[in-house]
Amino acid sequence: MAGKEIKGDWVWGWPDRKRPRSEFYKDTEGRVVGSRSPFLDLEGLITPTDNAFVNAQVQMPEPVHPEEYRFEVFGEVERSLELGLDDMRKLPGRTVRAVVECAGNDADFFTYLEQGGTGPKPSFELSEVDGIHWRLSGKKREKPIGDGESLVKSIPSTCMVTGGEWTGVPLSELLNRAGVKPGAVAVRLEGWDRGRPDPITLYRSAARTDFQVYDPGVINYDKGLPLAKAMHPDTILAWAQNGEYLQHVHGAPMRLIVPGWAGNWWVKWIHKIEVMDRMPDCYHQTHYFVSGKSPEDPDKKMMTALGCKSVITEPRDEDPPLARGEHVIRGMAWSGEGEIKRIEVSVDGGNTWHDAHVEYSPDRWLWKRWSYLWKVDAPGAYTILARATDEQGRRQPQTPWNFLRKHFDGIVPTHVTVE
């Protein structure tokens, strides 16, 4: 059959559709140290692994060979354990489909909504920022990064969300084998990545540089999971993502999956699991990824579950004017407390709301696709909104403004023109 030539990638010798590309950040040796997902342009619920976002807070570590990989379980347990991947594969496994979202995803929209939508509107789309190696320690930076203020403005906050399938073993399985002692309250998981947190990270989060940042010195990345979440059957230690072994950038050989909780809980490159009788003072839990009213707020709180959120992927602000007629309004929705049950759409800036079709999927931790067929007869400017409700009855938005701008789940208007 004679067809039009498909412009795109060559796959197994055949032309194919052009594939959405991630935005990569590389170090001076060309290794990927971070990336953003083109999730607006993907179809389905599982993000192809090469399109998953990548984030590393302190430093991308050196890889460990899977056959040499060992990790320890110790602390408030009857028996300490030392295990490798082969030992893990002998235990009863579990596969979990879930959304992982960086706590700082869409942070700039906090500022936009706070200003009543009068300031410049951030874009959900990927913008090109490669060449600024902003995740690297000072000595490895290729170019001078300029003053903090301009760097802080140059890093987009979007596209740090991924839907995936992870395979491993429940953390509770290991904890039960080790025998958790009464009095235990937390499980601290430590990665072997080490570094000194860059103050830019906090300045970027807060979108201001006029405050003092606590310096913990050189640390390993770690998080102290409250025992109840550690024992949840869907909290798993995973060595596979989307049907293949984990990639190094995603925490190989083994990482933690914490469905519903922000990405920073999903500890990568695990080498230590410590059961504790108190909450540990992890930097990325008591100084960063905390909510508070200001840097000086004495009452900062650890942040855990994500809110309840929907994002409109179609149409977009960037689109050319739409023709009169039928248009699909489409998007994704997810919640930190389980399944999305309802999506409502407004095409008149929030005066009236209509139920959208929520596409069936059996996985309560995964995002849902939704759509609404919009028939528009009158030319003009339209403001489209969507709001999600989850199985707990939590309606978007759930997360109040906080100075580090974490867990954004506000309702962002999409502005389109109909001709």
Ligand X SMILES: Nc1nc2c(c(=O)[nH]1)N[C@H]1C(S)=C(S)[C@@H](COP(=O)(O)O)O[C@H]1N2
As measured in angstroms, the least distance from the Cβ of 124 to ligand X is: 17
- The option from Mo ion, ligand X, none interacting with 259 (CB < 5 to 8 A, set by class) reads none
CB 275 within 8 A of CB 74: yes
Task: List binders of ligand X among 10-69 (CB under 6 A).
Answer: 52-58
State which residue, 40 or 385, has the beta carbon closest to ligand X.
40
- The option from ligand X, Mo ion, none interacting with 266 (CB < 5 to 8 A, set by class) reads ligand X
State which residue, 193 or 344, has the beta carbon closest to Mo ion.
193
Q: x/- site string to ligand X, residues 289 to 328, per CB under 6 A?
A: ----------------------------------------
Tokens of 80: 């300490």
CA 230 – CA 185 distance, rounded (Å): 10
Task: List binders of ligand X among 148-167 (CB under 6 A).
Answer: 162
State which residue, 250 or 394, has the beta carbon closest to ligand X.
250
CA 94 – CA 242 distance, rounded (Å): 13
Task: List binders of ligand X among 239-258 (CB under 6 A).
Answer: 250-251
Query: Given the rule CB under 6 A, which of 14-22, 117-125, 263-271, 362-370 is the region that contacts ligand X?
Result: 263-271
- The option from Mo ion, ligand X, none interacting with 250 (CB < 5 to 8 A, set by class) reads ligand X
As measured in angstroms, the least distance from the Cβ of 264 to Mo ion is: 5
Q: x/- site string to ligand X, residues 192 to 221, per CB under 6 A?
A: -x---------------------------x
- The option from ligand X, Mo ion, none interacting with 58 (CB < 5 to 8 A, set by class) reads ligand X
- The option from ligand X, Mo ion, none interacting with 38 (CB < 5 to 8 A, set by class) reads none
CA 104 – CA 324 distance, rounded (Å): 37
44 torsion bin: left (phi>0), alpha (psi -120 to 50), beta (else):
left
- Stated as kind and residue range, the H or E segment containing 109 is helix 107-114
CB 258 within 8 A of CB 265: yes
Does residue 15 have a cis bond before it (omega within 30 degrees)?
no
Task: List binders of Mo ion among 237-276 (CB under 5 A).
Answer: 263-264
Rg of the Cα atoms in the chain: 22
CA 344 – CA 346 distance, rounded (Å): 7
Task: List binders of ligand X among 80-109 (CB under 6 A).
Answer: 100, 102
CA 72 – CA 383 distance, rounded (Å): 54
Interface residue with ligand X among 98, 159, 230, 267 (CB under 6 A) is 267
Interface residue with ligand X among 203, 266, 334, 374 (CB under 6 A) is 266
As measured in angstroms, the least distance from the Cβ of 33 to Mo ion is: 14
Q: Is 140 helix (H, G, I), strand (E, B) or coil?
A: helix
As measured in angstroms, the least distance from the Cβ of 32 to Mo ion is: 16
Interface residue with Mo ion among 46, 56, 102, 270 (CB under 5 A) is 102
Q: Which of 156, 207, 204, 185 is nearest to 53 (CA)?
A: 156
State which residue, 193 or 344, has the beta carbon closest to ligand X.
193
State which residue, 241 or 346, has the beta carbon closest to Mo ion.
241
Burial class (CB in 10 A: 0-12, 13-18, 19+), 93: middle
Tokens of 194: 């080490």
Interface residue with ligand X among 135, 268, 364, 406 (CB under 6 A) is 268
State which residue, 54 or 366, has the beta carbon closest to ligand X.
54
Burial class (CB in 10 A: 0-12, 13-18, 19+), 1: exposed
Residue 393, amino acid: G
As measured in angstroms, the least distance from the Cβ of 406 to ligand X is: 10
The strand order across the sheet containing 270-276 reads 81-83, 71-75, 270-276, 186-195, 219-226
Residues that bind ligand X (CB under 6 A): 52-58, 100, 102, 162, 191, 193, 221, 250-251, 263-264, 266-269
